[in-house]
Amino acid sequence: MLLLNNHTMKSKIEKSAFIVKLTAVLVVLTISIISCNKELADRKDFSNNTGGNVIDAQQQKVLYVIVDGARGESVFKSPTPNLSKMIKNGMFTINAVSDENGLNATSWADMLTGVDKTKHKVISEDFSNNKLADYPMFFKRVKDNTSLRTAAFSISPALSTKLVTSADVNTSFSSDEAVKTATLAELANKDAAVVLAEFQGVDKAGAQYGYDASVPQYATAISNIDTYIGELNTAIKARPNFSKENWLIVIASNKGGDYPVIPALMDQTLYSKPLLNGFVILYNPNFKSTIYNKPANLNSLPYSGSYGKLNGDTIASVDAAKSNLYNFGTTGEYTVEFKLKVQSFGTQNAPIFFKTASPANGTTGWWIIHNGSNGTWRLGGLASAAISTPTTKAMEVNQWYHIGFKIYFVGTVRYVQMFQDGDPIGSPTVITGRNVNNTEPLVAGYRSGYGNSATQFITDIRIFNAAVPDAVIKDFACQVLLDSRHPNYNNLIGYWPALDGTGTLIKDQSKSKSDFVFQKSTQWQSFEDYDNKFCIKPTPELYKIVPRGIDIPRFILGWLNINATGFNLDGKVWTPIYTNILK
- Cα separation, 435 vs 352, in Å, equals 21
Q: What CA–CA distances, in Å, run from 89 to 33, 64, 182?
A: 9, 16, 26
Nearest CA-CA partner of 436 in 384, 369, 368: 384
Rounded to the nearest angstrom, the gap between the alpha carbon of residue 133 and the centroid of all alpha carbons in its chain is 28
Q: Phi, psi (5° rounding) for residue 122?
A: -85, 95
**Which tops the pLDDT comparison, 565 or 26?**
565
Pairing of strands 245-253, 387-388: unpaired
pLDDT tens per residue across span 467-484: 999 999 999 999 999 999
Say which residues have a Cβ less than 8 Å from residue 209's Cβ, sequence separation at least 6. 215, 216, 217, 218
User: Is the pLDDT score of 112 beyond 60?
Assistant: yes
What is the structure's pLDDT at 452?
60
CA 275/CA 487 separation, integer angstroms: 28
Question: What are the E-state strand segments in 72-135?
Answer: 90-97
Distance CA 517, CA 460 (A): 16
Task: With H, G, I as helix, E, B as strand and everything else as coil, classify residue 443.
Answer: strand
Beta-bridge partners for 379: 368, 387
**Mean pLDDT confidence for 332-346:** 94
Instruction: Quote the pLDDT of residue 47.
Output: 46
Q: Which fold has domain 307-529?
A: Jelly Rolls (2.60.120)
Non-local CB neighbours of 265 within 8 Å, separated by 6+ positions: 272
pLDDT at residue 221 is higher than 70: yes
Confidence (pLDDT) at 58: 74
* Cβ count within 10 A of residue 5: 13
- DSSP letters for 119-182: HH---STT-TT--TTTS--HHHHHHHH---EEEEEES-HHIIIII--S-SEEEE-SSHHHHHHH
Q: What is the pLDDT, as a whole number, of residue 581?
A: 54
CATH for the stretch 2-294+546-559 = 3.40.720.10
How far is CA 444 from each of CA 294, 424, 506, 515, 516, rounded to the nearest angstrom?
38, 23, 11, 12, 9
CA dihedral sign, ordered 550, 552, 558, 562: negative
Identify which of 567, 579, 538 has the alpha carbon closest to the alpha carbon of residue 276.
Answer: 538
- Range in 76-90, 139-153, 208-222, 567-581 with the lowest mean pLDDT: 567-581
Percent with pLDDT over 90 in the chain: 74
Contact 415, 544 (CB under 8 A): no
Q: Confidence class of residue 451 from pLDDT cuts 50, 70 and 90?
A: low
The count of C-alpha atoms lying within 13 angstroms of the C-alpha of 69, restricted to the half-sphere facing its C-beta, is: 23
Q: Would the pLDDT of 331 be above 50?
A: yes
What average pLDDT does this structure show over 246-261?
A: 97
pLDDT of residue 530: 85
Give residue 469's pLDDT.
Answer: 98
Is residue 414 helix, strand or coil?
A: strand
pLDDT score of 24:
40
Residue 498, pLDDT score: 96
Q: What is the DSSP letter of 108?
A: H
pLDDT surpasses 70 at 1: no
Contact yes or no for 203/69 (Cβ under 8 A): yes
Does residue 295 carry a pLDDT above 60? yes
Work out the number of other CB atoms within 10 angstroms of the CB of residue 562. 22
Structure confidence at residue 9 (pLDDT): 33
Query: Residue 17 has what pLDDT?
Result: 35
In the chain, where are the structural domains located?
2-294+546-559, 307-529
Q: Are strands 149-154 and 192-199 parallel, antiparallel or unpaired?
A: parallel
Of the segments 9-13, 22-26, 413-417, which one has the largest average pLDDT value? 413-417
Terminal Cα distance for the chain, rounded: 38
More confident residue, 442 or 56: 442
**What's the whole-number average pLDDT of the chain?**
88
More confident residue, 305 or 451: 305
Of 335, 363, 371, 368, the residue nearest 352 (C-alpha): 368
Confidence at 538, pLDDT banded by 50, 70, 90? confident
Read off the pLDDT of each residue in 140-153 and give the average, rounded to a whole number. Answer: 98
Mean pLDDT lowest among 315-329, 341-355, 409-423: 341-355
Q: Do strands 59-67 and 245-253 pair parallel, antiparallel, or not at all (unpaired)?
A: parallel
Q: Report, as an integer, the average pLDDT of 60-74.
A: 98
Report whether pLDDT(296) > 90. no
* DSSP per-residue string spanning 174-219: SSHHHHHHHHHHHHTSTTEEEEEEEE-HHHHHHHHH-SSTTSHHHH
34 pLDDT higher than 70? no
Between residues 565 and 413, the one the model is more confident about: 413
Give the per-residue pLDDT at 263.
82
DSSP state of 287: B
Confidence bin at 299 (pLDDT 50/70/90) = low
pLDDT at 5: 36
| Per-residue pLDDT at 264 exceeds 80 | no
Residue 392: per-residue pLDDT:
82
Q: Which residues contact 371 (CB under 8 A, 6 or more apart)?
A: 349, 377, 378, 388, 389
Q: Is the pLDDT of residue 55 over 50?
A: no
533 SS3 class: coil
Task: Please say if the pLDDT value at position 46 is more than 90.
Answer: no
Separation CA 369–CA 378 (nearest Å): 6
When pLDDT is cut at 50, 70 and 90, the band that residue 540 belongs to is confident
At residue 472, what are phi and psi to the nearest 5 degrees? -70, -40
The answer to whether residue 359 scores a pLDDT higher than 90 is: no
489-508 core/surface letters (b: 16 or more CB in 10 A; e: else): eebbbbbbbbbbeeeeebeb
Which three-class secondary structure state does DSSP give residue 572? Answer: coil
Amino acid making up residue 276: L
